[in-house]
Structure 1
Amino acid sequence: MAVVGAGDPVFVWQLRPMFALVYRFLKAVFAPFVIAIIISYVLNPIVRMLGGRRVPRTMAVLLIYAVFLTGLCVVLMNVIPMFVEQLEELGEHLPELTLHTQQMMNRWDNGILPGSIRMGMNNWFYQFENRLASAISGFLDNIGTTIGVVFNAFIIPFLIFYMLKDIELIERLILQYLPRSRRKSIITLLKEIDMALGNYVRGQLLVCVIIGVLAYIGYMLIGMPFALLLAGVVALCNIIPYLGPFLGAAPALVMATTISWKMVLLVLLVNMLCQTIESNVISPQVVGRSLHMHPMLIILALLIGGELAGVPGLILAVPFFAVVKVVIQHFYAYYVRRKAM
């Protein structure tokens, strides 16, 4: 009887369900910590600024915390009902919009495209409608369950508070476990990474919010249906460099084709104005060239990240490559110094 060894591929494949279970467990446990770390990283400079003005750190954290949570609650209380309402309306009108799009494309490609291709496109639209309707229905049905995860909703604010309040203590504890001979070099490396990522992460989040608001105002002015949903897509996609504006504009353009060609031109105009303002006014002031990465390197990072991890890879690719770039530069400088000695 053959014995399956621990290094055998068959043995590893048989353990896949266990790995999936462990992954889901770790994801559920560490997700609140990851979210809290990101929010703390964004808010910490404000706390330090208040601390520099002789405001006690605990008081500064409480002040920023109160303002942040109050603003978040006000936004969510006003935005979520509108978002759900527009999502329900989209689900109700989805068959009509799909049929209108198919009829318009049939009129446009009649006599141009072969019948087999038109049939394939119609099948694709039918499948797309069913999947989108199922996704919307599933989302709406699970809102109660999502909101019902009260534990995370309560634990994350407490984690953020203690991370902001005791971040200096956490830093000192971490430093105690670093080798004394390497401590200065590691601190320098971490400061360089923070300088490279700090302005970029905080700036990109602010830019996304501003672009989302501008897109929402623009869509409202031109009478675009589902303005909040479509502007939210623009804001979320804008976090992806270069590709984000095109991805964010695509749903609005598809929706506009079901209305009129005039609406398509107006949607194009709104998105072009938003991106012109973003690239020439907002980003230079808010983000600047904080990463000092060539556009070709950014595009390469996006291609690799998208291939490896899909949408999360597109979002995290540029910051990850920026960190790798800083680490390589740091160790190269260290190697040059050692070689010169």
Structure 2
Amino acid sequence: MRWSQIFLAVALGVLAALLAWMLLVRLFPVILIAVAGFAIAYLLDPLLVHLQRRGWSRGLAVAAIAFLLLGLLALAGILLVPALVSQITSLASNLPRYTEALIELAGPSAELFADLEQRFPDFISSEYLEQQFETARDWLTSKIPSVLSFLSTTLLRSFRAAGVAFLTVLVALWFMLAMQPFRQRFEALFSPDEAVELRALDREISLMLGQYLRGMTIVCFLIALATLLLLTITHHLFGTQYSLLIAVFSGLAYLVPYLGMLTTVVLAALLSYLTAAHDPWLAMGLNVAILLTVNQLFDSYLTPRIIGRKVGLHPLAIVLAMLSGGTLFGLWGMVLATPVAAAIKIMLTRWVPVISPAAPEEEGAPCRPAPLALDLGTFAAQTWKALRDAGREIKAAGQRLGDRNHHTPEAAQPVPTTHTEDSTDDHPGTTH
């Protein structure tokens, strides 16, 4: 009877897990809207607190932010969306022609391959290169229908996105009103000391996330605006098209470190060359230079000043987090990988004591656990210091051992024995 009960409990548990997974998959769009609304409310909560300190009521502050958000959505829907949809439609209709132009551009490749084979006969085979080029061209031609289908589907989804964005704003407004009661009820689940620790952790994470995401929103908007203004100049000079599309893409792609800029440069180079009315190579070079200059200017000067506090992650850690987020959750995982990794680092630095205890602030005070060395540069410096100190200790120990061995022969010389009267005690049978 006992084994049957265990089997029944396991079967019911597996069945409940499967039903929960199926329900999660079916309700994923709703859950995504709820999570996005909570994230918006969480990011705007410091602004609400600031307005409350200025004498505003919570409801009035939420109403003001709601008016601002809905106004921005309406302005984008009136000014930005129609022009952007028009350019995407034009690109979709002209994509086959642009593909043929790229194939014609690569037409003299056979002569180039033959010349390379003559120059480097031991390393390059023109037949192999031509075969690979033909394979790439056939693959590109076969992908045109799927690209057109993707663009048309994207257009349809863009109209649905307006309704989803409106619904997300409404959910965010509700979370803004319920944020303070929610925090109080959540803190009531813990002891007073734990609640104090949670509030400190919440302040630190919200400060980092708020500064990062609010700053990145401003930076992305400024990058898109600067790119649009500069590409409009090249449009009047060379007749290049899709300036708005490239500008919007550059602003959104800036959310993805490193890869975003590379993708934007490739897209701008192709569209500039294919759409220029004259001097396509010059137009392409100028637009690429514009994008690289804008990104470098923001990376070096404007972004640190707008965002303020950095997330405190090594570039390698950012790349690994971005790849992990993209593998698990796609594009949104890549976008949110950096702030999520920074939040995880903050939690680990508070809750995982490693390396060595920090020095007490006051004499007699207990040592605090040292923060976790997730920054690779700091970790490398600490590791090098530890290895250097260990090397010095080993060297000092070796010197002490050498000095001891050097003095041992003198101390180990045998002492000559002399026969004394006391020696008779050891041999009582001996007579003198």
**TM-score range for the pair, normalised by the shorter chain length:** 0.7 to 0.9
Which letter maps to 1:58? Answer: G
Q: Indicate conservation of the 8 Å contact 2:269/2:287, yes or no.
A: yes
- The code of the aligned residue for 2:342 comes to A
Whether 2:294 is the aligned partner of 1:278: answer: no
The Cα shift of 1:283 comes to 0.4
Partner of 2:248: 232
1:198 match: secondary structure:
helix
Q: Displacement, 1:153? A: 5.3
1:158 corresponds, among 150, 170, 174, to: 170
1:134 aligned partner: 149
| Whole-angstrom distance in 2 between the partners of 1:243 and 1:52 | 41
TM-score normalized by structure 2?
0.69
User: How far apart, in 2, do the equivalents of 1:130 and 1:91 lie?
Assistant: 10
Choose from 302, 308, 327 the match for 2:347.
327
SS at match of 2:27: helix
2:223–2:294 contact (8 Å) kept in structure 1? yes
Partner amino acid for 2:247? Answer: A
Q: 1:28 to 1:142 in 2, by over 3 A?
A: closer
Report the 3-state secondary structure (helix = DSSP H, G, I; strand = E; otherwise coil) of the residue aligned with 1:88. Answer: helix
Count of residue pairs brought into register by the alignment: 330
Aligned equivalent of 1:177, options 189, 203, 210: 189
Distance 1:90 1:16 in 2: 46
Query: Match of 2:271, SS?
Result: helix
Partners of 1:17 and 1:256 lie apart in 2 by 51
- Contact in 2 for aligned 1:253/1:268 (Cα 8 Å): yes
Query: Rg larger in 1 or in 2?
Result: 2
Instruction: Note if 1:311 corresponds to 2:326.
Output: no
Q: Percent identity?
A: 21
Q: In 1, distance between residues paired with 2:352 and 2:18?
A: 42
- Please state whether the residue corresponding to 2:352 is helix, strand or coil: helix
Q: Quick one: distance in 2 between partners of 1:106 and 1:115?
A: 11
CA contact (8 A) 2:110 2:130 kept: no
- In 1, distance between residues paired with 2:90 and 2:70? 30
RMSD after superposition: 3.1
Q: CA deviation at 1:16?
A: 11
State which drifts further: 215-224 or 92-101: 215-224
SS at match of 2:308: coil
**1:236·1:248 contact (CA, 8 Å) conserved in 2?**
no
Equivalence for 1:99: 100
Q: Secondary structure at the match of 1:182?
A: helix
- For residues 67 and 267 of structure 1, the distance between their equivalents in structure 2, rounded to whole angstroms, comes to 34
Mapped to 1, the partners of 2:287 and 2:166 lie a distance apart of: 40
Mean Cα displacement is larger for which, 23-32 or 300-309?
Answer: 300-309
The residue number in structure 1 matching 2:406 is none
Cα gap change, 1:35/1:266 in structure 2, threshold over 3 Å: closer, same or farther? Answer: same
Give the 3-state SS of the residue equivalent to 2:108 in structure 1: helix
Instruction: Give the equivalent residue in structure 1 for 2:322.
Output: 302
Match of 2:282 among 239, 243, 262: 262
What residue in structure 2 maps to residue 48 of structure 1? Answer: 49
Instruction: Provide the residue aligned with 2:33 in structure 1.
Output: 32
Does the residue aligned with 2:55 lie in a helix, a strand or coil? coil
Partner of 1:247: 263
Deviation at residue 53 of structure 1 after TM alignment: 1.3
The 5 A counterparts of 1:4-43 are: 21-43=22-44
Q: Which runs of 5+ in 1 are unaligned?
A: none
Shift of 1:330: 0.2
Q: 1:141 Cα shift?
A: 4.8
Alpha carbons of 1:173 and 1:297: their partners in 2 closer, same or farther (altered >3 Å)? Answer: same
Q: Which residue is 1:293 aligned to?
A: 313
Which portions of structure 1, spanning 4 or more consecutive aligned residues, are displaced by more than 4 angstroms?
14-20, 141-144, 333-341
Cα deviation, residue 321, structure 1: 1.4
What is the aligned partner in structure 2 of residue 73 from structure 1?
Answer: 74
- 1:179: Cα distance to partner? 3.5
How far apart are the structure 2 equivalents of 1:252 and 1:17? 46
Separation in structure 1 between the aligned mates of residue 219 and residue 318 of structure 2, nearest angstrom = 18
CA apart distance, 1:38: 2.2
The answer to whether residue 137 in structure 2 is matched with residue 122 in structure 1 is: yes
How much does 1:20 deviate? 6.7
Amino acid at match of 2:177: K
The structural deviation recorded for 1:143 is 5.4
Instruction: Give 1:206's match in structure 2, choosing from 200, 218, 223.
Output: 218
Q: How far is the alpha carbon of 1:245 from its aligned partner?
A: 1.2
List per-residue Cα deviations over 1:18-41 (Å, max 9, x = no partner).
Answer: 677433323122122112112223
Deviation at 1:102, TM superposition (A): 0.9
Alpha carbons 1:33, 1:156 under 8 Å: kept: yes
C-alpha separation between the residues in 2 aligned to 1:306 and 1:176? 36
Alpha-carbon distance change, 299 to 90 in structure 1, aligned in 2, over 3 angstroms: same
TM-fit CA distance, 1:290: 2.3
The AA in structure 1 aligned to 2:174 is: Y
Q: Is the 8 A contact 1:235 1:248 kept in 2?
A: no
Moved more, 75-84 or 251-260: 251-260
Q: Render the CA deviation track for 1:108-152: whole Å, top value 9, x for unaligned.
A: 5644153211211211221232221111223335556x26x85x4
SS in 1 for 2:257: coil
Q: TM-score, normalised by structure 1?
A: 0.86
Deviation, 1:241, is 1.9
After superposition, give the CA deviation of every residue in 1:31-85 in whole Å (9 maximum; x if it has no partner).
Answer: 2211211222332232222222112221121112112211221122111111111
